[in-house]
Amino acid sequence: MDLVKQHVTRAREAFDEGITKPRTWRLEQLRALDALLRENENLIAHALKEDLGKHPTETFLTETSLVRAEIKHTIKHLKRWLAPSYVKPSLAVAPATAYTVLEPLGVVLIIAPWNYPLQLVLAPLVGALAAGNAAVIKPSELAPETSRLLASLIPAYLDERAVKVVEGGVPETTALLEQKFDHIFYTGNARVARIVMAAAARNLTPVTLELGGKSPVYVDGSVDVKVTAQRIVWGKFINAGQTCVAPDYVLVSQDVEAELVEQLIAAVQDLYGHDIEHNTHYGRLINDAHFDRIVGLMGPENGRIVVGGEHNKTHKYVGPTVLVDVPHTAPLMSEEIFGPLLPVLPVADEDEAISIITSKEKPLSLYVFSEQKHVRKKFLQDTSSGAVTFGLPIAHLAIPDLPFGGVGESGVGAYHGKRSIEVFSHEKAVVSKPLSPDTLALVYPPFHPKKLGIVRKLLG
């Protein structure tokens, strides 16, 4: 584990030497990262195909283009985001100038998961570099081809003094967590998040925890059920359901349950055809352990399969699967599914849906399909989640000016766009007050009722 320590020490030296602070360095790094993505599209597509069976178009849409959009947006706005932000000084200290500046934190650690193994390393890195930090990156060992590729490309494109990649699994992550960082940005599951937060606490290191959970969908009879079904199927089965914001389960008002189920079945066929096992537009599960877990969630105690259910361990293939008659107590309803199984449960109305949703941990996203204003308002007011969308599953994360993050069990903190810069910066308060006139003379001892009278008047 000497290498881990060495990487962190070198990154710290680079930061202390001031290499990462100039805006020109930051912009150079962002442009180099963009070139990395542009010039290696085929290698990236190949790695993602190997790790997750992703189609190159899906890799483009959900990995590279998202990071490139984040880079473009950051380059465009960085100067403005880094400009001092002036505030009105209180009368107590006037005349004075008061403002804040964003300063880099130092050396940050980025720990990424396997499901979007490129995007979830590089999107936080955009913010870390744009904010002027040195960074140590730990890609997921469960997506080995992408991890290897990042470990070879990043030193070739980015400033090797300040950006380090550590490959490996639990021992390497554990060794990293023993080092002192100025921020830890972790994406993954809530169990490991607790390990990360406990390790961070030893050094009072701030953390961002991008986690998951069961993101619900609500559908009522006021919507176009066909389009709704297509959007749900798209959002659910992209990356074979291995998306942190994938629709996890559907609560449907019982008057449209039959129609929705029928349209979900049709949408699976429309989007993926009939021979899905051999369809390269549909992804694969990450490994045998996840395959076994997902297949284990298809037993009769989890309801009745109306489409899908077929699986083949050789290809780590599980077809897009919709289940009905799912008991609320089924294993499928108690853990994040994180795979291509979609339970559909009827509810009387939005109130029952809300009481089911609020009886569980706060989700990362909540998707409401209803044209009724009062229904939308109820979901907004009576539930808590990282995000709420109306009519649009998963794609809210492609809007860089929106915060992307969870609440409660689904995460701590948020990033994307300007918020990424804020995550990886300290907002420093600055005040400048002229020595003359010396208005503070009014508050210096000895105290006097006359002076107090003036101060009281001034402070209102």
Give DSSP secondary structure letters for 155-188: HHHS-TTTEEE---SHHHHHHHHTS--SEEEEES
Which of 28, 141, 145, 352 forms a contact with ligand NAD (CB under 6 A)? 141
Q: Tell me phi and psi for residue 234, to 5 degrees.
A: -60, -50
Contact 124, 110 (CB under 8 A): yes
Q: Single out the segment in contact with ligand NAD by CB under 6 A; choices: 36-44, 111-119, 351-359, 374-382.
A: 111-119
User: Nearer Cβ to ligand NAD, position 150 or 261?
Assistant: 150
CB of 141 to ligand NAD, least distance (A): 5
Contact 252, 347 (CB under 8 A): yes
Encoding tokens for residue 23? 């805006």
User: Nearer Cβ to ligand NAD, position 187 or 230?
Assistant: 187
Q: Single out the segment in contact with ligand NAD by CB under 6 A; choices: 3-11, 25-33, 99-107, 108-116.
A: 108-116
Give Cα 102 distance to the centre of its chain.
22
Q: Tell me phi and psi for residue 133, to 5 degrees.
A: -100, 160
Q: Single out the segment in contact with ligand NAD by CB under 6 A; choices: 109-117, 125-133, 418-426, 448-456.
A: 109-117
Q: Does 192 bind ligand NAD (CB under 6 A)?
A: yes
| Rounded Cα distance, 44 and 36, in Å | 10
Q: Single out the segment in contact with ligand NAD by CB under 6 A; choices: 20-28, 93-101, 113-121, 224-232.
A: 113-121
Q: Which residue has the tokens 């045998």?
A: 288
Q: Does 421 bind ligand NAD (CB under 6 A)?
A: no
Which of 104, 127, 188, 417 forms a contact with ligand NAD (CB under 6 A)? 188
Q: Does 120 bind ligand NAD (CB under 6 A)?
A: yes
Return the active site residues. Answer: 210, 244
| Rounded Cα distance, 287 and 454, in Å | 73
Q: Does 171 bind ligand NAD (CB under 6 A)?
A: no
CB of 168 to ligand NAD, least distance (A): 7
Q: Does 289 bind ligand NAD (CB under 6 A)?
A: no
Encoding tokens for residue 301? 């105690």
Closest among 413, 409, 422, 368 to 391, alpha carbons compared:
368
Site string for ligand NAD, 24-43 (x = CB under 6 A): --------------------
Contact positions with ligand NAD (CB under 6 A) in 338-367: 338, 364
| Rounded Cα distance, 411 and 386, in Å | 8
| Rounded Cα distance, 201 and 73, in Å | 33
DSSP code, position 277: G
CB of 434 to ligand NAD, least distance (A): 47
Contact 162, 134 (CB under 8 A): yes
User: Nearer Cβ to ligand NAD, position 145 or 262?
Assistant: 145
Residues lying near ligand NAD in the complex (CB under 6 A) are found at: 111-116, 120, 138, 140-142, 169-170, 173-174, 187-189, 192, 195, 210-212, 244, 336, 338, 364, 406, 411
